Amino acid sequence: MSLILPLIAFIVGLCLAQYKLSEHLKPLLATLLARVFIPIVIVYNMVFYQPGSLSLMLFSFISAGLLYGLFITLFKDRLGALCFSYVNMAWLGFPFAIAIFGPQISPAIVALYIGGSIFGNIWAVTAVSTEPQAKRIILKKVMQSPPFIALVLAGFCRLLDVQNIQNTHWFDLVYHASKVGMTFAGMCVLGMWLRKTKVNFNDLKRSSMILALKLVCGLVLCSIAYFYLPIPRIQEYIGVMFLLFCLPPAANIVALETHYQGTGLSAKYIASGTMVSCVVIAVYGMLLHFYF
């Protein structure tokens, strides 16, 4: 089921993209994903906490910061650095991770998503703006982001001792329904988006070279984490930690760029990066299933 559902959702998205309905359906599904399904999954996993979540959040946050710094140092391009470091964990990473590793990996995915999302919300506006952003504005944006609100709600739930409730049937039901909705919405939006996206060979070549650099960084950082960092259950989580470096730029970067700079240069980066990433993730998934 974990493999069939993403494929069906992707095909449905491809088919729907040719109809006008998709113009309304795509933002609706994206909103449900970002503001309903993912926050529910975050709250559930943070309330019924599993060891290692905080370590994974820090790993994701610090890795994104290091990737951003590396790209800035090499290419002096803030927008490119943001595309390099702020990845599409929301409607691409979640479905692929569950398809490859199974639903039991959800706590690790949530932790990695939170760390990367906090980084993205801190740096995204700064990176795409032509003028420096006040710390107050950046802090406000972080506090208004769905992942942060979900963390606050999870904190309140733990204070109310929700984690010690004996009968969690309804919590489990909502959680599993949200995971299905998350997977379907994410892959369906991907299908609708790629159906109408045009990129050329040079775009794909550039994205392939950038992703290759990111994969090298991922090998280095994941190796350091595996051998030297005290992350609980690292043997179980190292695979999904590396998946983080296979993902393309976050889709909302182009919206921010359009708003603050009046340009849409990141659209091609995101589109070509998504196509290249889909191939790399598919190969990565097959290698894991064949050899592990």
Give the whole-number percent of the chain exceeding pLDDT 90.
34
Torsion angle of alpha carbons 185, 188, 190, 194, nearest 10°? -160
Residue 249 bridge partners (DSSP) = 87
| Cβ-contact 67, 247 below 8 angstroms | no
Examine the pLDDT at 45 and tell me if it is beyond 70: yes
Asked if 69 contacts 127 with a C-beta cutoff of 8 angstroms, the reply is: no
The pLDDT of 266-287, averaged and rounded, is 90
Task: Output the six-digit token pair for 249.
Answer: 């730029």
Residue-wise pLDDT for 245-274, tens only, equals 999 998 778 767 766 676 667 878 888 999
Q: How far is CA 274 from CA 77, 247, 277, in A?
A: 20, 7, 5
Give 116-165 pLDDT, tens digit per residue. Answer: 888 887 777 677 776 666 778 777 877 887 888 888 998 999 899 888 88
Following DSSP, what letter does each residue of 111-126 receive, concatenated? HHHHHHHHHHHHHHHH
- pLDDT tens-digit profile of 54-86? 899 999 999 999 999 999 999 988 889 999 999
Q: Is the pLDDT assigned to residue 19 strictly greater than 80? A: yes
Residue 117 CB neighbour total at 10 angstroms: 29
Q: How many helices (H) and strands (E) does the chain have?
A: 14, 0
Q: Which of 109-123, 143-157, 173-187, 274-288 has the highest mean pLDDT?
A: 274-288
Token readout for 236 is 């179980």
- Give Cβ neighbours of residue 234 (< 8 Å, ≥ 6 apart): 52, 225, 226
Does position 1 have pLDDT exceeding 60, yes or no?
no
The answer to whether the predicted template modeling score (pTM) of the entire model surpasses 0.95 is no
pLDDT at 286 over 70: yes
The more confident residue out of 226 and 20 is 226
Q: Which residue has the higher pLDDT, 23 or 223?
A: 223
Instruction: Tell me the domain boundaries of the chain.
Output: 4-291
